[in-house]
Structure 1
Amino acid sequence: MKAALRNYHARMQRVLDHIDRHLDDDLGLDALSAVAAFSKYHFHRQFAATFGLSVHRYVQLARMKRASYRLAYRDAQSVTAVAMDAGYDAPDAFARAFRQRFGQSPSAFRKGPGWEPWLAAFGPLDDARSKLVQTTYTPDDVTIREVAPTRVAIMAHRGAPAGLGATIRRFIAWRKAAGLHPATHPTYTIWRSEPRPASPADYSIDLCVGTDRPVADAQVDEGAGGGTVRLGNIPGGRCAVLRVVGHTDNLEPAARYLYREWLPASGEEARDFPLYCQRLSLFPDVPEHEAVADLFLPLE
């Protein structure tokens, strides 16, 4: 029974990966049931029973998530092009669906996203994935590396997590203007607080880009607010490194594994520097299941 269940889940996982990889293609019942090797007459019920969403709703949400990321964080595509990539035949149909889901038109969202409705809109998608996509880490997944010190430009976010999207937008705009492209200048995230502090106002995270050059027109920021840039360092030393592949917008399970299971069993001691990650590939530049991040736990 366990082997049969694993095989069933693997087939469903294959469908989710196919959807992520082929958002621009035909994702109807015939195509997806063939990917899963299930009967098309039962597949839609099997999918809904497994994930709590219909196939059509899941695909809609996955396409809308990519569209919203492109609107918020990428400005190379027009709203019309984003609408076509989201599977809509006309921009006005996309605009209606977008407004219904986020309470803003696509153009208004691009100018100033409303992040709280945005976060709430994708709750069903995240819940659906969590029913099946539960990565189990083992000690073999963790390597210990000697890491060189890294000079970085830092944009701090201080305050409720719901406002992080706005800080990310400012960070992307700043690094683009500074000519610090992700392909040549690595991207880091440093967590300065608990993921869910008692007061949301205490949430603290640094967005960083590796650079050896001076930061032109940077304002020194002692840690308050978000949007100013300062220079700093990620110190070198020994680190436990755990690679996360796919859906790297939520690294909490990987961090929990490092702290709760790997560290106590390893005999190692954590160093006095926060957990951080290097983002090696980012959604929507790659499909969500191909995004990659290395999580670093500094060690003594």
Structure 2
Amino acid sequence: MLMSTSSLSRINDVLYEIHRDIAADLPAAHLARVAAFSEQHFHRVFAAHMGESVHRYIARIRMEQAANQLMFDHSSKVVDIALKCGYKSLSSFTRTFKSRMGMSPGEWRKHHAISAEPDFMQVPEISAGYRRIATSPLAAPTIIETQPKRVAYMRHQGYNRNIQKTWQTLVLWAYEHQIEDKNQFALLHSNPALVPLDECRYVACIATDKPLLKRSKVNSLVIPGGLHARFHLCGIYGEFIPYLNRIMTEWAPSSGFKLKTTPTWVEYKKNQFMDEQGRFDLLLFLPVSFY
């Protein structure tokens, strides 16, 4: 099915609705209304664009989030994590988790989470980056309350250098539409320690002070505000994922905070995908809560 610009914008609205709160009730009928499609047509368009059904997509996103929570939140009960990630009961969560992950949630938490070497270490640039920063002190974050931010955005699947093309397109779009605020952000929907790099979901964003009048491949959303742990990170391409992994494995479990299910995001001072030397200087915002 050839995806029209209008259909793409509508599916982007649905993805925003899903990722805004994965614990919410997300029946297909509701998502079809978000997209302004009939339910039958919505199923066809979503599957054509995403390569999987909406039910399978939501199930996968919830499972990834639950596995992520189990890895780094050692104080919450499994049932609380299941409910937090949109599951209705512990039994259904345990059954689904074991089917997908090959072990129970408790086994995952105890044995697999930190000990297994992430797949991203097979990428030479990233493994080299990990070796460079492995023994560097990890600076303590600042805990702050952030305000919601309206942004124009483009989605990209895969964490690789091809993200540069998405950024080039978005920056050109901002120039053509005379967007005065050129502040750059990114939403990180996936944990590369769990999700293969070519399946990671990345959202390139440029700040804008108003909704878009005409939508295309570029749409608008609001980055959620709330309590965040803010880390200042500097480095070169290949080092960002290792830094993120260290924060999640070294800082998060002993921080005293719980991870929220809203997206982790970054604010770029220097964007490694646009810098000629591939250098980054950014603020990483990890959504957290006390309870």
Instruction: Calculate the TM-score normalised by the size of structure 2.
Output: 0.50
Q: Which has the higher contact order (CA 8 A, sep 6+)?
A: 2
Instruction: Calculate the TM-score normalised by the size of structure 1.
Output: 0.49
